[in-house]
Chain A
Amino acid sequence: MARAITTRRKIVTTGVAWAIGLLIFFPIYWTILTSFKTEAQAINNPPLFWGFDFTLENYALVQERSDYMRFLWNSVIIAGGSTLLGILVAVPAAWSMAFVPSRRTKDILLWMLSTKMLPAVGVLYPISLIFVQFNLLDTRIGLTLVIMLINLPIIVWMLYTYFREIPVDILEAARMDGAGLRQEILYVLTPMAIPGIASTVLLNIILAWNEAFWTLNLTAANAAPLTAFIASYSSPEGLFYAKLSAASTMAIAPILILGWFSQKQLVRGLTFGAVK
């Protein structure tokens, strides 16, 4: 009897999980589907799930009108650069908080996180003024810096959590073995924290890649990444759904593929410390 209940419960949970998964995936699926339709079929009512004329025309038109590679390159530089910079700043910060905590460490961590609670638009004006002042508007370096800063609290938090799992004994052993601070971090701490650092890097690349508020507000043409590429196809009248979908698909494809190949690492990273 108990067995029957377990089996039934298994079927129900599996069913629910699949339903939620499909629900979340549906908009992406719908976007990809629409990108292969003609503009007329894209706005057909009722919506067409099959039987439409499969076309690659939208992709050709999008590529013709705007240079995808240039946007892609900007996205890669901004997402990659902000992540690399963030890690370089966050490793020493997380090290000091995890291994040399003070009475205020917890407060500092919370304070850092609290900056994420502020709506981004609240600081749009000051940041824009700073960008104007320093000629950073529409530059990759400016955008890389801003995105690094907005994601920094998350990077520090994640690294802090991973570092806390590393036994202090091992770092002390390194000190006894003659390692200075730099060697201790380089040869002992970092290699041991590689899985954690990898998850942090992946998540941060995804966050930076998808970041739209600052990328749209602080760029025009030169430094515009893929988020701006998508936005340029959104017209208020909504007449170009198919092209918009094609642009969106092109923009999210690289990150989807990255996410697919690294999902094991990502899941491990995001649930780290949750099951202890």
Chain B
Amino acid sequence: MGHITLDKVSKSFAEVEVIPPLDLTIEDGEFVVFVGPSGCGKSTLLRLIAGLEDVTSGEICIDGEEATSVPPAKRGLAMVFQSYALYPHMSVRKNIAFPLRMAGMDQAERDRRVNAAADVLNLTDYLDRRPGQLSGGQRQRVAIGRAIVREPAAFLFDEPLSNLDAALRVGMRLEISELHKRLKTTMIYVTHDQVEAMTMADKIVVLRAGNIEQVGSPLELYRNPRNLFVAGFIGSPKMNLINGQIASAHGAATIGIRPEHVAVSAETGEWHGKVGVSEHLGSDTFFHVTCEGIPEPVTVRVGGEVDLHYGDEVWLTPDTTHLHRFDKEGLRIG
């Protein structure tokens, strides 16, 4: 079980309020990702749930029980830290067994569980090594192993992949998703990388300055961003956001159009411009087109093989059925 509710939870450090009162419900078995730019309070929020920080006001319930002032050791949650936070003086085996030892489990059961976890995470050959003798990816696995052996109510991940190189990160991302599918345990995952959020989450919580901007499934957020911040934050490359006359023509202060919803033509279209830098990814190509009357270059996605070059003149046409409209306050219209 891992049903977590936050009720008007807030956090202040001295005079500074980093998290204004917020409500959030995390269902049992859900994979929830807290995402936002650095300093948005996502890690603080995770640490409040973990119990590593005290809430300033509000209430946290885990599986229906008030846990606001329960110490972290007694909350039944497991955490994977960005720095892995392995115990450097213990072997991998002892690291993974540590929570079981703290729970007073007998040696035989401890061994059984450690071996099972090591098997799942491909760590069997490394059980007698010290963390210092492992690579970054292996250390990350040990940290995950230490979290899964005790079968917690929920897993908390604090930017677990940001110390890994890009290739390893993609691999670990899949492994964590796979783990979630298999264990069906609640996972709360903090990241600043919206790609991680989009690829892993059942539910994304977008945070800015301690406020929840929007909560929803990845595609919900992608298709219906509630405001300009979410529109600009979710999606890679970013949504094109256009102000001024072109926007007012659509009855909005700002309009947004995703790169895949802009058609490119050599002859005719709505916006006339010149092709700038292009990014060829093989399957896709992104062109940055400078258009008349639009200050920022418009990003356009086209298929892999398109014969357009730097300086070519093109016409762009947005697909109006996929147009996002925002008012002066940056809130979605319609």
A223 to B79, CA, bound (A): 54
Whether A175 and B85, one on each chain, are in contact in the complex, defined by CB atoms closer than 8 angstroms, is no
Whether B103 contacts A178 by the Cβ 8 Å rule is yes
Q: Any chain B CB within 8 A of the CB of A177?
A: yes
A residues in contact with B74, CB < 8 Å? 178
Is B216 an interface residue, CB under 8 A from the partner? Answer: no
A177 touches B83 (CB 8 A): no
A5 to chain B, nearest CB (A): 40
CA distance A167 to B72 in the complex (A): 18
Q: A167-B83, A175-B52, A178-B102 are known contacts. Are A192 and B72 too (CB-CB below 8 A)?
A: no
Q: B81 on the interface (CB 8 Å rule)?
A: yes
Q: Which residues of A contact B98 (CB under 8 A)?
A: 174, 177, 179, 187
Residue total for A at the interface (Cβ-Cβ under 8 A): 18
A15 at the interface (CB under 8 A from B): no
Chain B, range 39-59, C-beta contacts under 8 Å to A: 50-52
Q: Give chain B residues whose Cβ lies under 8 Å from the Cβ of A194.
A: 89
Provided the pairs A175-B52, A175-B72, A176-B77 are in contact, do residues A167 and B102 lie with their beta carbons within 8 angstroms? no
List the A residue with the shortest CB-CB distance to B143.
Answer: A173
Residue of A172, A175, A188 near B87 (CB, 8 A) is A188
In the complex, B168 has a CB within 8 A of chain A: no
> Is A178 a contact partner of B99 (Cβ separation < 8 A)?
yes
**Interface membership of B73, Cβ < 8 A:** yes
Residue numbers in B under 8 Å from A169 (CB-CB): 81-83, 85
Closest to B101 in A: A187
Majority DSSP secondary structure for residues of A touching B: helix
A169-B81, A191-B89, A192-B89 known; A178 vs B73 contact (CB < 8 Å): yes
A198 within 8 A of B: no
Please determine whether A179 and B102 come into contact, CB atoms closer than 8 angstroms.
yes
| A191 surroundings in chain B (CB, below 8 A) | 89
Q: B81-111 vs A: 1/0 string, CB under 8 Å?
A: 1110111110000000011001100000000
Contact A179 B73 (CB under 8 A): yes
**Contact, CB under 8 Å: A177 / B88:** no
Residue contact B88 to A192, C-beta cutoff 8 Å: yes
B88 near A176: Cβ-Cβ < 8 Å: no
- Encode A152-168 as 1/0 by CB contact (under 8 A) with B: 00000000000000010
- Given A177-B99, A178-B103, A178-B150, answer yes or no on A172-B71 (Cβ-Cβ < 8 Å): no
Residue contact B81 to A172, C-beta cutoff 8 Å: yes
Bound together, the chains give a CA A110 to CA B221 distance in angstroms of 54
In the complex, whether B146 has a CB less than 8 A from a CB of chain A is: yes
B78 interface residue per 8 A CB criterion: yes
Known pairs A183-B102, A192-B88, A192-B89; A176 contacts B78 (CB<8 A): yes
- A172 and B52 form a contact (CB under 8 A): yes
Residue A170 interfacial (CB < 8 Å): yes
Give bound CA distance, A194 to B82, whole Å.
25
Give which listed residue, A167, A177, A183, A187, contacts B146 with CB less than 8 A. A177
The answer to whether A167 touches B73, judged by C-beta atoms less than 8 angstroms apart, is no
What A residues does B71 contact at CB under 8 A? 175, 180
Q: Tell me the bound Cα distance from A180 to B103 in angstroms.
A: 11
Bound state CA distance, A178 and B51, in angstroms?
A: 12
Q: Which residue of A lies closest to B74 (CB)?
A: A178
Chain B residues near A192 (CB, 8 Å)? Answer: 87-89
Let me know if B85 and A170 touch, CB within 8 A.
yes
A-B contact pairs, 23 of them (CB 8 A): A167-B83, A167-B85, A169-B83, A170-B86, A172-B72, A173-B79, A174-B98, A175-B52, A175-B71, A176-B50, A176-B73, A176-B79, A176-B156, A177-B102, A177-B146, A178-B74, A178-B103, A179-B102, A180-B71, A183-B102, A187-B98, A191-B89, A192-B87
- Residues in B lying within 8 Å of A, measured CB to CB: 50-52, 71-74, 77-79, 81-83, 85-89, 98-99, 102-103, 146, 150, 156
10 tightest A-B CB contacts, nearest first:
A178-B102, A173-B85, A177-B99, A169-B85, A176-B79, A175-B72, A191-B89, A178-B73, A170-B85, A169-B83
> Can you name 10 extra interface pairs (CB under 8 A) apart from A167-B85, A176-B77, A177-B146?
A172-B79, A175-B73, A176-B50, A177-B73, A177-B78, A178-B74, A178-B102, A179-B73, A183-B102, A188-B87
